[in-house]
Amino acid sequence: MGCGTGRVYNEKDVETHINKCQTRLPSAELVEGDVIKLTSKNGFFNSSSLLNSQWLQGKLSNNEYRQAIEHINQRIGQSIIGAVKNLSIEQIPKSQSAKLAIEELNDKYRGRVQFLFRNDDQDNSINTTESFIYINFK
């Protein structure tokens, strides 16, 4: 079989990919207005602890922060499972899954924290561009 035709990504493929890329993902940064910004070039986000837990302003614990980012990565990963391996994981569109995860987190933390997803790909096309999560506190 050429180029993985007929083969699909399974849960183990996705989990392995996420674990491998975590160490290469950029750390979160604090930007203007005490907003936390996470950047991804492959659709997944670094769920490691923040450089400074005071960035959370007492609105989230470090554990809640890590779980929130892991939730986003899991939702994105779920969208890859079953996709044909003709495309690399990096090329599979992920923005809709990220947006769903952000909606779920905004519902969960309503009144305390607001999550916002932005990306620079067009119309959910093949995603090899940067994506961003912004976290601000109310």
In this prediction, residue 5 carries a pLDDT of: 53
- pLDDT tens-digit series, residues 13-61: 999 999 888 888 999 999 988 999 999 978 899 998 788 999 999 999 9
Distance CA 138, CA 126 (A): 34
Q: Which residue has the tokens 């499972």?
A: 81
Neighbouring CB atoms inside 10 A of 134's CB total: 16
Residues 6+ apart with CB under 8 A from 22: 44, 46, 47, 48
pLDDT tens digits, 109-131: 999 999 999 987 554 444 456 89
- Specify whether the CB–CB gap between 68 and 134 falls below 8 A: no
Q: Report the C-alpha gap between 106 and 125 in whole angstroms.
A: 25
Q: Left, alpha or beta for 46 (phi > 0: left; psi -120 to 50: alpha)? A: beta
Mean pLDDT (whole number) for 79-106: 93
Crossing angle, helix 95-108 and helix 62-80, to 10 degrees?
150
